[in-house]
Structure 1
Amino acid sequence: MASSQPNMRRFLRDWRQDALNKAQYDAAIFIGDKLLSMTEDDNDAFWLAQVHFAAGNYTRSHDLLSKHNLVGSNPSCRYLAAHCLIRQNNFIEALALLGELTPTHLFSSNAKRKTSRTAARAGRAGSKAPERQPDATGEEESSNRRYEAGMCYLRGLCYAKQNAFDRAKDAYKDALRIDVQCYEAFTQLMRNSLMSPDEEDEFMHMLDFNSVRAPMGGDDPELQSEPADYVHMLYQTQLSKYRNPGAFNAAVESLSTHYGLAHNADMLVARADLLYTQCRFKDALAITAAVLEDDKYNFAAYPVHLACLHELGKTNMLFLVAHELADSHPEEPCTWLAVATYYFATHKIQDARRYFSKASMMDATFGPAWIGFAHTFAADGEHDQAVTAYATAARFFTGTHLPQVFLGMQHHAMNNMTAADEYLQTAYALCHTDPLLLNEMGIVLYHQDRPKDAAKVFRQALRIADDTGADPHAWLGARTNLGHAYRRLKMLDEALDEFDAVLRDGGKDAAVLCAKALILLDKGLPDEAARVLHEALAVNPQDPIATELLNKALEESAVGDVELLMAGLGTGPAGGEGAEQAQEEGGAGDAVNVMERFEAELGERKAAARARAERRVRGKGPVTDPVGSKGKAARAARLDGLARDDLLDGQFDLLQVDGGLPSTN
């Protein structure tokens, strides 16, 4: 009987593992309990606790570990016990169990191993590497290191629940410095935007990807180091898409070509995220739609998918997505993000705010929900509440520049140019390559009477948009703003070229046509200006600025005709004929009387036209900004009483690029 006991132990362990693999947790618990009673082995107790954890019995799992005094025995048991406490939302107790000290000695050990591997590679260059034998001690050490990294990750979760995001970020980074394969820590850093693009790049250089090795048994050093390159490329696809799109494309191309990941959902979502940052919404939507068609419950794809649907105005598709998710997965934050986005797109702001809030309460680290929640206040013109909401998002997601951009936009809307400039500069320190940010910086500079600096920033935004292959229609606002800056700088030909490009790419727009007409007036071409203004009024017959400018253009054109007529009467062929006819009718004195009567009649007509224009303006009252987001009144008065540079100030406020509902990547 005794001799058969080892076989029985092996049989029961295999049975327990087979049941666990099949998710037959009751069977695994039943067999595991019998095995533990038979052996009273700590390893069997640990595995029974693992089965309870997999079955969702977190309290029983933790009590079993404590009963057998396993919590402090080794890293694996302490990790499992802390994980049980976190699943029960006992974050303070879990943090007390994990401790707040990071095993920094593992960092130096990591560096030593890297140095020894470099020396080993140099030795292999001159001789064949000896075949390595399995080392049980080395395997145990590697396992303990991974559990230590896992505990750093759990420590970060506890800090995040306490809103200590800086400490959470440090804990996640420590986990990766101990074990670069701790993907849970990596995804927390990326998904929650805890690092700026520059920080991400610097941190990637710190990680020891050479520690990722192929299983023992191979003699080819290239094959053994191949997993390091593979993991590095996988991580590269998850980084911010603003800093180095070239490196991202290279990584995706290699993974697609050599490892068959061309149609992998994560690769496709990462590519869609890149396209979204480049404002190529149709291309991004095509990719996310393909991903969701294959797996409609891939929740990682929904933030970009919903944002693209909103940008493209596809409210019917938003409704269908939101309705289906609400029926099938009401427990997912993405479901209520979809519902809120639909309401936001249909201008039901109060409903959108309620569901954005619900999504953020379900997952406090869900960045799109926080940004959307703040957008609802901005859409209602409640700037103080919007600033508070955006500031909360900026505190939660310290690595992304978008909350800072939106804070700058809100302060600009409240005419706090100094505060707006500070927030936009903070955003620029986090990200240098976002055309949206550069456009907003240029607008603030323009309103600070720095048109030369504004033009420089607008040109930089358009250059980055061209480099990334962005859709030209997405940056019509920035190009129009550049035209206004050129107009202020009296670079009339350059401004005219920009406005012509906007009209060519984006179709006829009354505000742009008014700006073009204003330049033509400055160039002394009132007839051309009048033609352009008639086009503007055909687009928007009630446009007050187009009406005022048209009156001015007609007045200038009439004055020019009179001057030509006077010149003709005085000299030249026409003048000679007129003089001869006047003499035939009664002499030169009669000709002078004709000119005096003509000038008097022209003066009366001009006065009557000016009076009619004044009555129209007084009848309409003040003309407010059509957007309603700037809190300014667009001045509607006689053109003679206005500086031409101020005439389109209200229209200029229309040209901010809509931030949409971006992901925080």
Structure 2
Amino acid sequence: MDRVLLLPNLTRARYRPFTHPPINNTGELVEHLKCLSLTKFDFHPTGTYANKQFAMEKFLRVWRQDALNKHQYDSAIFIGDKLLALTNNDKDAFWLAQVHFSTGNYTRAQGFLSRQDLISRNPSCKYLAAHCFIKQSKFDEALAILGEKNPTHLITSSSNSRRKLQHADGNSKNGSMRAGKGVYKLDRVDKSEEREREDATNIKFEAAMCFLRGTCYAKLNAFDRAKECYKDAVRIDVQCFEAFDQLMKNTLMSPDEEWAFLESLDFDSITVADENPSSSQEAAEFTKMIYTTRLSKYKNPALFTAATETLSTHYNLAENPDLLLSKAELLFTQCRFSEALGLTTSILESDKYNFSIYPLHLACLHELNQKNTLFLLSHDLADNHPDEPCAWLAVGIYYLTINKIAEARRFFSKASMMDPHFGPAWIGFAHTFAAEGEHDQAISAYSTAARLFQGTHLPQLFLGMQNLQLNNMTLADEYLKTAYGLCRTDPLVLNEMGVVFYHQDHLKEAADMFNQALRVADEIDSDPSAWIATRANLGHAYRRMDMLPEALETFKEVLRQGGRDAGVFSAKGLVLLQMGKGFEAVVALHEALALNPQDPIATDLLGKALESSSRVGITGAMPGVGWVEDPEEEERFEKLLTVRKRDAVRKVEQGRRGRASGGSGSGGPSTGVPDRRRSEASMMEVSDEDG
């Protein structure tokens, strides 16, 4: 029987299949081909030799895949080597390099790719070779393979490929799908011509190589270029989640940028191998919703809630760890720490070492002062996962919670050295300096965090607060305005801006800022008790503006919400004293001293209030109190007044000897947890100057 030969890499128009007489053995066939100057050849499947080789290749590939499924990499390497020798096929060489990569043999993987000269001919092999260099921390060599230019011609914008969602109508030619409460339709249109010419698999590898370029630039501290590479990767392939995750996890974009970027993505490029066209539409909408849950929680909480509800009800993701974490992050921004802790605890009960949960979980524990839980958790992580930065972050937070600042700083530093791009460790490291009043070192550490994490407003906020501590109002104002530009919906930023206005004697602007902070806190459904200090600041602004009834009502509201602080009672007493209600002022100041017996301001104001009450009582009517001119009653009041004056003088002397220096200010440094925010705003105190 004649055998048919097909010449490789040659067009059929020029070289047609030809027949050859039977050849008795393979050696004769190879010699004959050498005479024809052919180096590569394939048999037509109808040939006996071709059938046997095809069966052997199939057998070896199944064996290799079975070994990979069992993580028996030595077996996979052994079989893959024989398969490559048999076929000399690019795909088999790539798979063998993949197995070596999985075992950490990056140099051997590169060797296979280089020997076959696959790097220049195949996008997937170029990606793998660059990845090998990155794993060896050879970022310049990786960039040399990848090149510095992104294939932006493969990007399709949302505006060109997809019209905006519209309500479905009877004339719709496309399938409709349910998203949230309404029914919408997606108009799917053709991709660009350049994209059509590219193989789908190659497009995905081109996007993956954009992601690797971003990784290289990030490791080289070129964060602007890294951000653009990550964005191009997701624009080219919207399913390149690694790049999207880097943008979100490292907060390389502000909240406004994140939402604008999401709207620019071409989710219609997602296709599903299904006869039903609505499957691709549903997959596109599903992907957009799960991406929405990863965005900043400071903006559009309503859209976030709608996405989570749809994913929970329609796709049974209510108990999914990533979705629960997103809900906990939203609760944390609302200062609802107990609820957020409940969600993170439920995740860790089923997946104890899910390290993406720990930064938020540790933050909640710190805010709620859960010292014992932090102690046990930090010990468990340090014992079982000493190679994880989160383990040492937990130890640092524990020491910060028990106010051992030096120890906390050491472990925050260790976590940041293990992963230089670990945001929580950098913020915690800066917090330790702030807690000790080392403002210059704190500013330096916060500045590093601001450079590493350009999209978050927290480092800028903390820089503004530190300059406020140093009374550098101009710098504080600049940093806080930068923070406000990045995030306009954080009440803490608005509170600190109001504090700056207050100390610059711009009292009306300060009151406006405090009111805006309280309004935003109410809009995002934040815990009212978290903003007691902001309301107290508003009362001080009203008091200095001589809006005494408003100030008095504000301080009463602070007390009703649980702000039972000596400073608040002192402020209330001062307002009452200014309103001429001396007796009520005495009562308020006594309550302040009951909470803090050595409060110098309350003691001083009490003396003034007693003197005022004495003068009013002797001369006639006391505002708000019916005064009876009875000699015996008057004598009893004088004795009481004398005793109170003597007690007040004694308390003043004790306070001068025993108290630390104090005064009015913007409030202390953040006591919040790394990469997060503190629960309490700065609160201005009453001072003698204010009176």
Alignment TM-score, normalising by the size of structure 1: 0.85
Are the equivalent residues in 2 in contact too, given 1:192–1:664 (CA < 8 A)?
A: no
Match of 1:587 in 2: none
Match of 1:553 in 2: 609
Structure 2 vs 1, CA of residues 123 and 344 (structure 1 numbering), >3 Å: closer, same or farther?
A: same
Q: What displacement does 1:111 show? A: 7.4
* Structure 2 residue identity aligned to 1:528: E
1:72 partner SS: coil
CA distance in 1, matches of 2:160, 2:604: 76
CA distance in 2, matches of 1:373, 1:152: 32
Match of 2:15 in 1: none
Structure 2 vs 1, CA of residues 656 and 29 (structure 1 numbering), >3 Å: closer, same or farther?
A: closer
CA distance in 1, matches of 2:621, 2:85: 117
Determine whether 1:250 maps to 2:298: no
Q: Counterparts of 1:7-22 in structure 2 under 5 Å?
A: 7-22=55-70
CA distance in 2, matches of 1:573, 1:515: 29
Determine whether 1:99 maps to 2:138: no
Q: Counterparts of 1:201-350 in structure 2 under 5 Å?
A: 201-218=259-276, 221-350=277-406
Please give the per-residue CA displacement for 1:246-269, whole angstroms capped at 9, x wherever unaligned.
111111000001000000000001
Match of 1:174 in 2: 232
Give the number of the structure whose residues are more often helix, by fraction. Answer: 1
Are the equivalent residues in 1 in contact too, given 2:497–2:513 (CA < 8 A)?
A: yes
Q: Counterparts of 1:374-523 in structure 2 under 5 Å?
A: 374-523=430-579
Please give the per-residue CA displacement for 1:207-232, whole angstroms capped at 9, x wherever unaligned.
101111221422xx322211000000
Match of 2:201 in 1: 143
CA distance in 1, matches of 2:543, 2:621: 32
CA distance in 1, matches of 2:628, 2:671: 60
Bigger mean CA deviation after superposition, 422-431 or 204-213: 204-213
Q: What displacement does 1:443 show? A: 0.9
Structure 2 vs 1, CA of residues 109 and 310 (structure 1 numbering), >3 Å: closer, same or farther?
A: closer
Structure 2 vs 1, CA of residues 494 and 101 (structure 1 numbering), >3 Å: closer, same or farther?
A: same
CA distance in 2, matches of 1:608, 1:224: 84
Please give the per-residue CA displacement for 1:404-423, whole angstroms capped at 9, x wherever unaligned.
00000000000101100000
Are the equivalent residues in 2 in contact too, given 1:114–1:211 (CA < 8 A)?
A: no
Please give the per-residue CA displacement for 1:70-111, whole angstroms capped at 9, x wherever unaligned.
111121110000001101111111011111011111125987
Match of 2:21 in 1: none
Q: What displacement does 1:47 show? A: 0.9
Structure 2 vs 1, CA of residues 656 and 522 (structure 1 numbering), >3 Å: closer, same or farther?
A: farther
Tell me the percent identity: 57
2:272 partner SS: coil
2:594 partner SS: helix
Are the equivalent residues in 1 in contact too, given 2:462–2:670 (CA < 8 A)?
A: no
* Structure 2 residue identity aligned to 1:366: F
2:199 partner SS: helix
CA root-mean-square deviation: 3.2
Match of 1:533 in 2: 589
Match of 2:86 in 1: 38
Structure 2 vs 1, CA of residues 435 and 10 (structure 1 numbering), >3 Å: closer, same or farther?
A: same
CA distance in 2, matches of 1:109, 1:609: 77
Match of 1:158 in 2: 216
2:450 partner SS: helix
**Equivalent residue for 2:131, pick from 83, 89, 111:** 83
Structure 2 vs 1, CA of residues 608 and 285 (structure 1 numbering), >3 Å: closer, same or farther?
A: closer
1:426 partner SS: helix
Are the equivalent residues in 1 in contact too, given 2:110–2:129 (CA < 8 A)?
A: yes
Structure 2 vs 1, CA of residues 270 and 109 (structure 1 numbering), >3 Å: closer, same or farther?
A: closer
CA distance in 2, matches of 1:565, 1:123: 83
Determine whether 1:48 maps to 2:61: no
* Structure 1 residue identity aligned to 2:613: S
Q: Counterparts of 1:50-65 in structure 2 under 5 Å?
A: 50-65=98-113
CA distance in 1, matches of 2:159, 2:139: 32
Match of 1:592 in 2: none
Determine whether 1:5 maps to 2:61: no
Structure 2 vs 1, CA of residues 403 and 622 (structure 1 numbering), >3 Å: closer, same or farther?
A: farther
CA distance in 1, matches of 2:411, 2:515: 39
Match of 1:588 in 2: none
Match of 1:24 in 2: 72
Match of 2:251 in 1: 193
Please give the per-residue CA displacement for 1:378-419, whole angstroms capped at 9, x wherever unaligned.
011100000000000000000000000000000000010110
* Structure 2 residue identity aligned to 1:16: R
CA distance in 2, matches of 1:325, 1:139: 51
1:554 partner SS: helix
Q: What displacement does 1:490 show? A: 1.1
Please give the per-residue CA displacement for 1:270-308, whole angstroms capped at 9, x wherever unaligned.
110111111100000000000001111011110110000
CA distance in 2, matches of 1:263, 1:289: 12
Q: What displacement does 1:619 show? A: 6.8
Structure 2 vs 1, CA of residues 112 and 457 (structure 1 numbering), >3 Å: closer, same or farther?
A: closer
CA distance in 2, matches of 1:94, 1:126: 45
Structure 2 vs 1, CA of residues 244 and 110 (structure 1 numbering), >3 Å: closer, same or farther?
A: closer
Q: What displacement does 1:663 show? A: 3.6
* Structure 2 residue identity aligned to 1:4: K
Structure 2 vs 1, CA of residues 605 and 254 (structure 1 numbering), >3 Å: closer, same or farther?
A: closer
Determine whether 1:661 maps to 2:674: yes
Please give the per-residue CA displacement for 1:573-600, whole angstroms capped at 9, x wherever unaligned.
979xx9xxxxxxxxxxxxxxxx9xx9xx
Q: Which portions of structure 1, spanning 4 or more consecutive aligned residues, are displaced by more than 2 angstroms?
A: 108-115, 121-124, 137-140, 221-224, 572-575, 604-624, 652-665
Q: What displacement does 1:534 show? A: 1.1
Alignment TM-score, normalising by the size of structure 2: 0.82
Are the equivalent residues in 1 in contact too, given 2:573–2:588 (CA < 8 A)?
A: yes
Q: Which ranges in structure 1 are unaligned for 5 or more consecutive residues?
A: 567-571, 579-594, 627-632, 635-648
Are the equivalent residues in 1 in contact too, given 2:64–2:80 (CA < 8 A)?
A: yes
CA distance in 2, matches of 1:573, 1:14: 105
Match of 2:115 in 1: 67
* Structure 1 residue identity aligned to 2:262: M
Structure 2 vs 1, CA of residues 146 and 110 (structure 1 numbering), >3 Å: closer, same or farther?
A: farther
* Structure 1 residue identity aligned to 2:210: C
2:620 partner SS: helix
1:300 partner SS: coil
Q: What displacement does 1:473 show? A: 1.5
CA distance in 1, matches of 2:658, 2:540: 20
Structure 2 vs 1, CA of residues 414 and 623 (structure 1 numbering), >3 Å: closer, same or farther?
A: farther
* Structure 2 residue identity aligned to 1:460: Q
Structure 2 vs 1, CA of residues 278 and 194 (structure 1 numbering), >3 Å: closer, same or farther?
A: same
Structure 2 vs 1, CA of residues 77 and 482 (structure 1 numbering), >3 Å: closer, same or farther?
A: same
* Structure 1 residue identity aligned to 2:489: T
Structure 2 vs 1, CA of residues 208 and 605 (structure 1 numbering), >3 Å: closer, same or farther?
A: closer
